[in-house]
Amino acid sequence: MGRGTTAPAVLPAPPAPSVFALLERLTATGERVMLGLTGPPGVGKTTYAASLVESWQQGGHRRAATVGLDGFHLGNETLAARGLADVKGAPETFDVDGFVALLRRLRAADEGAVPVPGFDRSREQTVPAATSVPATVELVVVEGNYLLLDGPWRPVRGLLDAVWFLDLRDDVRQTRLVDRHVAHGRTRAEAVAWVRRSDEPNARLVAASRTRADATVDVLCG
């Protein structure tokens, strides 16, 4: 675990006292802390990150912010030109260099505010400078599928103080994915096909990286 702390094997969810005790140990130095949340598609990383930040700030702590890997999806035209449109969401369909560059800026914490891109699921497009992380932010929660991968992704792990792996039963996670794709315009048959062809290979790749995490969060355990 980063900064000399030791995480339990499994952390409870949603955010609980033991989770905040761990965060307080991480932030005890007063320096900015970069916490990664990873896990397979559909596990609920964005939701958990938002809940963690909201609860942390409501508890009287200093400011926190979330940063999502989804803001670094390559554009649809770029994916089409590279023959990657049918595997959008795979590691090679992200701007990993841009993501690493952002994390380095956030790690340095020497700018007034760092712009952060977002992602509009309704249009399947990134949104430049959708938000920003001010210098006053104490805790940056970074969420994304591929925080623990090797190869061009390896620098990501070194820029994070700790990474928690979110876990969820496959049947629940796959149902969530299908429902998400349907909500954004696919037929149910198309959604099921996409999950099988694209999301699940990515999920297996992510699962293989979980041994590099500092802790596991069972998102169905309260």
Asked whether the predicted pLDDT for residue 11 surpasses 80, the reply is no
The amino acid present at 175, given as its one-letter code, is T
Range of the domain at 152: 2-217
- Per-residue pLDDT band for 146 (boundaries 50, 70, 90) equals very high
Judge whether 52 lies within some domain. Answer: yes
Domain containing residue 198: CATH number: 3.40.50.300
Question: Can you read off the two tokens belonging to residue 192?
Answer: 């099921």
Q: Which of 3-7, 102-106, 128-132, 199-203 is the least confident region? A: 3-7
Judge whether 157 lies within some domain. Answer: yes
Judge whether 18 lies within some domain. Answer: yes
Q: Which of 41, 42, 37, 40 is nearest to 13 (CA)?
A: 37
> Mean pLDDT, to the nearest integer, of 206-213?
94
Residue indicated by tokens 């890997």: 69
Per-residue pLDDT at 9: 45
Rounded to a whole number of angstroms, the CA Rg of the chain reads 17
> Mean pLDDT, to the nearest integer, of 38-42?
95
Judge whether 222 lies within some domain. Answer: no
In the chain, the number of structural domains is 1
How much is the mean pLDDT over the chain?
A: 88
- Per-residue pLDDT band for 36 (boundaries 50, 70, 90) equals very high
Judge whether 162 lies within some domain. Answer: yes
What separation, in Å, do the N-terminal and C-terminal C-alpha atoms of the chain show? 23
Measured CA to CA, the distance from residue 33 to residue 161 in angstroms comes to 6
3-state secondary structure 74-101: CCHHHHHHCCCHHHCCCHHHECHHHHHH
